[in-house]
């Protein structure tokens, strides 16, 4: 009998050892960067586009397996999967440059080219188990080289002078979950859009903003509705937002946010994505003629408007958990330009853009 009991004890010990070893050998999610104060980690799954989507995690535990009851931990355990799947991966910090050569305004003489240089930081801080604050900053610069665009008196007799424009400011907002499947977001970007040629005035300031509800209809399908204010469309600064983010299959997703962007992305691996899409971008800048400034009359000002509608193909690579790279190239399908210097007698150059081309590269950082 004692040998029978010994065999039972030995068998139980062997079973426990095998179970422990099996648990040890289970694959674990790859570690990922935290999102600027959230402490949320991604839980990638091979072949899934959501693995290359946002950096919100799927739960935090200490080494002993006990749940994390900190605010980021509770938020992640409750809403991490929602945040991870609702859009494709977008780094917290981006540095980018783009080139737009040989652009033309229809029915206008001359041409122009411009170089874009962008900086964007998008941070989040959990303040409640169901809510977070958005804090960030941005700088979007445009350096134009004009060739006989527009006519005017004095120094503008041969066309518009080269111009440097920039939009810069802060990003502030919040997000709150109304329940497990409804997220409400409100965000604003107060800042200045100007040639920064002289003292800034209230006319240089603007505040592009949006309010949006996101509803999780299915684990892979998110519907969006809201409203936005910006200067992309001259005659319609206030427009509704309608969108969908849909992970159609593992590795392929659709992200639509009308009336501004549509993108199809295919992720053959969690760290590599192929991008195909179309987008409309633009802004209104308050400008001052350099001649008026030199003459001691800096109050002569006007509004200059730019808009580009383009299609692109691109690639995004997450080289490490903390560093990513994106490159896009495409064609300008259209757009609307209204160029002026603000000087009296200047003949503005305005109209639709003819087709052109562009290239863009950017680097992303997370921690």
Mean pLDDT (the chain, rounded): 82
- Give the model's confidence band at 337: pLDDT under 50 very low, under 70 low, under 90 confident, else very high: very high
CB-neighbour burial class of residue 296 (10 A; exposed 0-12, middle 13-18, buried 19+): exposed
- Helix (H) / strand (E) element for 5: namely helix 2-24
pLDDT tens-digit readout, 98-152: 999 999 999 888 899 999 999 999 999 999 999 999 999 999 999 999 988 876 5
pLDDT at residue 107 in the model:
87
Give the mean pLDDT of 186-192: 98
- Total number of domains constituting the chain: 1
pLDDT at 108: 87
SS3 294: helix
What domain range is 101 assigned to?
85-365
pLDDT in tens, 40-78: 333 333 334 433 333 344 344 455 666 777 888 899 999
DSSP per-residue string spanning 105-131: BTT-SSEEEEEEEEEEEEEEEEEETTE
What percentage of the chain carries pLDDT values higher than 70? Answer: 75
Contacts of 162 (CB under 8 A, 6+ apart): 143, 144, 145, 146
User: Under 8 Å CB-to-CB from 160, ≥6 apart: which residues?
Assistant: 146, 149, 150, 152, 339, 341, 346, 349
> To 10 degrees, the CA torsion angle through 228, 234, 236, 240?
-30
End-to-end CA, the chain: 61
User: Highest mean pLDDT: which of 15-29, 58-72, 270-284?
Assistant: 270-284
d(CA 103, CA 114): 8
69 or 250, greater pLDDT: 250
- Give the span between the Cα atoms of 35 and 326, in whole angstroms: 19
| pLDDT above 50: residue 197 | yes
Token pair in block for residue 69: 């009851």
**Which pLDDT value is given to residue 210?**
98
Is 153 inside a domain boundary? yes
pLDDT band at 318 (very low <50, low <70, confident <90, very high): very high
For 85: left if phi > 0, alpha if psi spans -120 to 50, otherwise beta; the answer is alpha
DSSP lists the bridge partners of residue 119 as 95, 139
Q: Which is higher by pLDDT, 347 or 78?
A: 78
Whether the CB-CB separation of 288 and 195 falls below 8 Å is answered with yes
Report d(CA 19, CA 174) in Å as an integer.
Answer: 45
Please confirm whether the linkage preceding 259 is cis (ω < 30° from 0).
yes
Q: Give the pLDDT of residue 133.
A: 97
Confidence band of 340 (pLDDT split at 50, 70, 90): confident
Residue 298 lies in a domain: yes
20/213 Cα distance (integer angstroms) = 45
Give me the pLDDT at residue 41, please.
36
Mean pLDDT confidence for 215-236: 97
Q: Is residue 281 part of a domain?
A: yes
Whether 54 is covered by a domain: the verdict is no
**Position 38 in a domain:** no
Rg (CA), the chain: 26
What tokens does 177 get? 């979950």
User: Regarding predicted confidence, which is higher, 201 or 307?
Assistant: 307
Report residue 47 as tokens.
């072949």
Residue 122's nearest CA partner among 97, 96, 87, 93 is 93
**Whole-model pTM over 0.85:** no
- Is residue 261 in a domain? yes
**Residue at 20 is within a domain:** no
HEC profile of 166-229: EEEEEEEEEEEEEECCEEEEEEECCEEEECCCCCCCHHHEECCEEEEEEEEEECCEEEEEEEEE
Residue 160, pLDDT score = 81
Residue 297 maps to a domain: yes
């Amino acid at each position: 009998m004692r040998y029978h009991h010994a065999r039972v004890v030995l068998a139980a010990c062997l079973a426990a050892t095998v179970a422990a070893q099996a648990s040890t050998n289970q694959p674990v999610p790859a570690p990922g960067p935290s999102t600027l104060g959230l402490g949320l980690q991604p839980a990638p799954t091979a072949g899934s586009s959501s693995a290359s989507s946002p950096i919100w995690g799927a739960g935090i535990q200490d080494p002993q397996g006990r749940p994390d009851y900190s605010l980021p931990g509770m938020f992640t355990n409750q809403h991490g999967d929602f945040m991870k799947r609702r859009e494709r991966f977008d780094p917290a910090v981006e540095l980018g440059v783009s080139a737009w050569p040989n652009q033309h305004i229809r029915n206008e003489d001359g041409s122009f080219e411009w170089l874009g240089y962008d900086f964007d930081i998008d941070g989040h801080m959990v303040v409640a188990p169901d809510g977070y604050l958005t804090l960030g900053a941005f700088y979007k610069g445009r350096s134009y080289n004009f060739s006989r665009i527009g006519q005017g008196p004095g120094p503008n007799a041969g066309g518009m002078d080269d111009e440097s424009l920039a939009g810069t400011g802060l990003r502030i907002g919040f997000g709150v979950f109304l329940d497990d499947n409804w997220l409400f977001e409100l965000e604003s970007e107060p800042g200045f859009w100007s040639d920064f040629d002289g003292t800034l005035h209230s006319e240089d300031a603007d505040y592009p903003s949006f309010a949006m509800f996101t509803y999780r209809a299915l684990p892979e399908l998110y519907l969006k509705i809201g409203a936005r204010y910006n200067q992309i469309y001259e005659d319609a600064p206030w427009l509704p937002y309608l969108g969908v983010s849909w992970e159609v299959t593992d590795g392929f997703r659709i992200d639509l946010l009308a009336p501004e962007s549509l993108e199809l992305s295919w992720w053959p691996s969690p760290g590599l994505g192929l991008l195909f899409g179309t987008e409309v971008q633009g802004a209104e800048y308050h400008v001052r003629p350099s001649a008026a400034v030199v003459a001691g009359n800096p109050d002569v000002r006007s509004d200059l408007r730019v808009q580009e509608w383009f299609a692109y193909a691109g690639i995004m690579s997450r080289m490490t958990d903390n560093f990513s790279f994106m490159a896009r190239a495409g064609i300008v399908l259209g757009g609307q330009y209204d160029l002026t210097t603000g000087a009296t007698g200047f003949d503005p150059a305005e109209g639709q853009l003819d087709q052109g081309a562009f290239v863009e590269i950017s680097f992303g950082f997370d921690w």
